[in-house]
Amino acid sequence: MKKQKHDIFSLKNLCKKDNIFLCIIVGLLGIMVLFLVALYVFVPTYRFENPKPFAGKFINNPYQNLTDVNWNYLDLRNDSLIPTYEYGFGLFPTRYLCVDYQSKIKLDYPFYKNIHFKQYIINRLNKTSSLVIPTHVDAGFKQREIKHLDNYRLMEVISPYGNYFYYWDLALSSGRHVNILATGYKSVLNDVKYVYKTAVNADLNDKTQIINSLKNGDSYAVRYLDGKSDLPELKSLTLKNDTLFVEATKEITALQFIGQNGIVKEKLYPDACKASYVFKEDDSYIRIQMNFNDETIIYLNPVVRHEFQYFFIPSMSEMMKERTWLMRIVFVFVIIFFAKYLLTSKKEDVDEDKRECNK
């Protein structure tokens, strides 16, 4: 008598009537695995421009044409002025603030995401949101990725999760033009509570003005004492020849001019409302930090070098179409081969059952 097979986990015995429940479970798991594999395989591959400092004989100052100053303070995380949500559902804390979104993207990559996944997500989110802003940058992004990622205009440098000036300078030093965003973070130092917000040169009832102010850089981050009013503000920042002239509405007690790699190029204690700095030939960018007597601190957006007379932000990444489609085609062939193998196995199983019944 022929020895009966008891391996219920073999392909030939898996879907017999007595193993139908196991067959359903395995089938569902197979579909889930295929879905996850497809989710990852269909992500494009990108080519990134090598990181390099801003360069050129021209200098862009986002505050140069600041005339009718109308500073207002907002917190994109807590204010309801503009619809904003935080995107990111995976196991790794890669997150983005999506500002002025038309629809929410609810699908994320649950497991590991490399730089190509992150660039693809940024590009996708830009299609449904006016601004896409990386956050949790210390936990969600590698330093190499900060140097290469493209197509975002702000970084949440100050947030409820910490301060990330190092990452901001890392992006700027790599030639990525990124402005600062601060959200309603309250920190307590020596029993003193500070509030962080972003000042925009815009009417808070005009969504378009707010977004343009954040995107173009005529905005800044500010720290002030909780409950404080009548804050010092930026009055002007002008560039004449190679010299920056900065002026505030109140006396500046300390002022830092910060450049390439986050190095403090010059520190002044003017005890006046005005100060100046000569933009040197080796300065790729300069950002300014101003301290005031009432413990307020203002963090300005960078003044950067550029190559052409008219300032624009070039694309620093490009999808590698040939490689991307090659990966997708290979995946489709693998699916076809796997499906054919399963169907062939099932047919052999049916034929074997018929032979056994005819004996």
Cα dihedral 242→247→253→258 (10° resolution): -40
Predicted local distance difference test score (pLDDT) of residue 164: 95
Nearest-angstrom CA–CA distance, 269 and 254: 4
For residues 252 and 292, is the Cβ–Cβ distance under 8 A? yes
pLDDT in tens, 240-273: 999 999 999 999 999 999 999 999 999 999 989 9
Residues 168 and 223 in one domain: yes
Predicted local distance difference test score (pLDDT) of residue 107: 77
43 pLDDT higher than 90? no
**Residue 66 one-letter amino acid:** L
pLDDT in tens, 283-311: 999 999 999 999 999 999 999 999 987 77
**Residue 98 one-letter amino acid:** C
How much is the pTM? Answer: 0.82
Is residue 18 in a domain?
yes
Residue 48 corresponds to which tokens in the numbers above? 């990134």
pLDDT in tens, 104-149: 988 777 777 889 989 999 999 999 999 999 999 998 999 999 999 9
Residues 182 and 36 in one domain: no
Average pLDDT, the chain: 85
Residues 6+ apart with CB under 8 A from 13: 5, 7, 19, 349
How many independent structural domains does the chain possess? 2
Residues 193 and 243 in one domain: yes
Containing structural domain, residue 32? 11-45+319-358
